[in-house]
């Protein structure tokens, strides 16, 4: 059954436009509280990133949960994976994250974690939606929920991150630049990397509510590249606004994306006989990664785009490593969700263990040129029934043959149609991507 409010990664949109409004979030808090009150007695964690609307939505959720008779623990600014970890270790009934991840400050969203630190199962999301369409009520005053702040949340998560690598690994002398995107990791990531011994230079650590992801972090690595080259750092680490994405930069200023990072971790785990099951990528995973893993006799499975689908495929196939080229990397042998800090530590551990630079570690994988064009769409269109678009896709696939591929899909988090073309010849790939994108624009206009 289709969901009315929940998308592939919770509920997300522009602040002030339904459903990302204070009154809806009040009702959402109440509906969530009703569902978890039925599941049993306990409390719900609420954390957020640094965007200015987080204050408003934190209060609205707290009020709704209180009205439903559920206790709340407020975490303040915390990375999404940190909230997942605390939900699990504190045995909370659920964790609620107020964040729009890599989106600009004027967007926001809500996503949930179960007591296991994973995304809520579909049946609970359907149950929450059923309450959203019901009149809101308030429990008797004696049964109202209570709220308080968890003051040591950051310290707990910092120690968890550090514990994801052996304590014998000392990164003294390793110069690292960390870009926190003015987001939720601003007070977490620098201490983590400093306390494992690295010489850390931090940028993107001055959030003001409006500058989250603003030409910085995992989606805009230019500032990180410049700083790595300026100070002669060994590597750069770029996180997004809620800390679940990771991009890295080597000492030459070359960006190392999610596919390359997954390849490095997979090869490292295999060499130490610690890789279990297949590696899971997505439809966007570069062909170069698939070919590189094949040479290592590592199977690659492709899920739909979205960390939810990567996780589902990992669980179904008893895998432990997967992710997306955008930097969502899931190391199930370390944690239960995508975690930028923990993923970066796994790469640093391999640098320490192998004695090789990040640049050398990524050299085993050669990426195919991949061109992605995002076409803005104010209205939803059925791509399958857009005849000219489908004809353009077929023509491009014929031109590429077995040396490339086409992916055309609607974004699950933004009003965009994503056109991706991949192949050996960059000029041909660019030309083909533009051809399809132009047909998509015509279909939208029509």
The DSSP-derived string for 101-152 is TTS-TTEEEEEEE-TTSSBPPHHHHHHHHHHHTS------GGG---EEE-TT
Q: Is 392 a known active-site residue?
A: no
Identify how many contiguous H helices and E strands the chain contains and give both numbers: 14, 18
Give the chain's length: 446
- Residue 101 CA from chain centroid, whole number: 7
Spatial separation of the C-alpha atoms in residues 261 and 329, rounded to whole Å: 8
- How far is residue 113's CA from residue 131's CA, in Å, rounded to a whole number? 18
Number of other residues whose CB lies within 10 A of the CB of residue 368: 19
Contact yes or no for 152/74 (Cβ under 8 A): no
The Cα-based distances of 333 to 134, 164, 239, 300, 314 in angstroms read: 41, 9, 21, 18, 12
* Residues facing residue 74 across a β-bridge: 46, 149
> Which of 53, 99, 101, 326 is the catalytic position?
101
Torsional sign, CA 146, 144, 56, 121: positive
DSSP calls for 303-349: EPSSHHHHHHHHHHTT--EEE-TTSBEEETTT-SS--HHHHHHHHHH
Q: Which residues carry out catalysis?
A: 101
């Amino acid at each position: 059954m289709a969901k009315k409010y929940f998308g592939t990664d919770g509920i997300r949109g522009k602040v002030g436009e339904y459903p990302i409004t204070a009154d809806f979030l009040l009702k959402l808090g109440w509906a969530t509280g009703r569902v978890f009150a039925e599941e049993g007695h306990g409390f719900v964690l609420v954390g957020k990133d640094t965007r200015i609307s987080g204050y408003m939505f934190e209060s609205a959720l707290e009020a709704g949960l209180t009205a439903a008779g559920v206790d709340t623990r407020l975490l303040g600014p915390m990375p999404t994976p940190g909230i997942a970890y605390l939900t699990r270790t504190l045995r909370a009934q659920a964790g609620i994250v107020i964040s729009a991840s890599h989106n600009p400050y004027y967007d926001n969203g809500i996503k949930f974690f179960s007591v296991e630190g994973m995304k809520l199962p579909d049946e609970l999301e359907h149950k929450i939606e059923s309450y959203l369409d019901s009149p809101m009520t308030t429990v008797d005053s004696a049964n109202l929920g209570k709220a308080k702040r968890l003051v040591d949340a950051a310290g707990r998560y910092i120690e968890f991150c550090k514990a994801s690598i052996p304590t014998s690994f000392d990164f003294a002398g390793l110069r690292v630049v960390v870009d926190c995107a003015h987001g939720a990791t601003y007070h977490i990531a620098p201490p983590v990397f400093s306390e494992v011994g690295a010489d850390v230079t931090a940028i993107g650590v001055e959030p003001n509510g409006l500058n989250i992801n603003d030409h910085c972090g995992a989606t805009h690595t230019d500032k990180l590249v410049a700083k790595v080259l300026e100070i002669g750092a060994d590597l750069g680490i770029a996180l997004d606004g809620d800390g679940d994405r990771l991009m890295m930069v080597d000492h030459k200023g070359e960006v190392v994306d999610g596919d390359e990072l997954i390849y490095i971790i997979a090869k490292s785990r295999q060499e130490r006989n610690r890789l279990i099951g297949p590696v899971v990528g997505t439809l966007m995973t570069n062909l170069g990664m698939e070919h590189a893993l094949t040479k290592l006799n590592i199977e690659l499975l492709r899920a739909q785009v979205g960390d939810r689908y990567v996780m589902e495929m990992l669980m179904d196939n008893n895998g432990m490593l997967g992710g997306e080229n955008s930097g969502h990397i899931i190391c199930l042998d370390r944690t239960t969700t995508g975690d930028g800090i923990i993923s970066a530590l796994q790469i640093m551990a391999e640098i320490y263990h192998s004695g090789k630079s990040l640049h050398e570690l990524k050299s085993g994988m050669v990426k195919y040129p991949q061109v992605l064009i995002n076409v803005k769409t104010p209205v939803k269109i059925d791509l399958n029934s857009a005849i000219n678009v489908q004809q353009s896709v077929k023509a491009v696939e014929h031109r590429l043959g077995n040396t490339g591929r086409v992916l055309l899909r609607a974004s699950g988090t933004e009003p965009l149609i994503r056109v991706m073309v991949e192949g050996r010849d960059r000029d041909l790939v660019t030309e083909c991507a533009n051809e399809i994108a132009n047909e998509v624009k015509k279909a939208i206009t029509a």
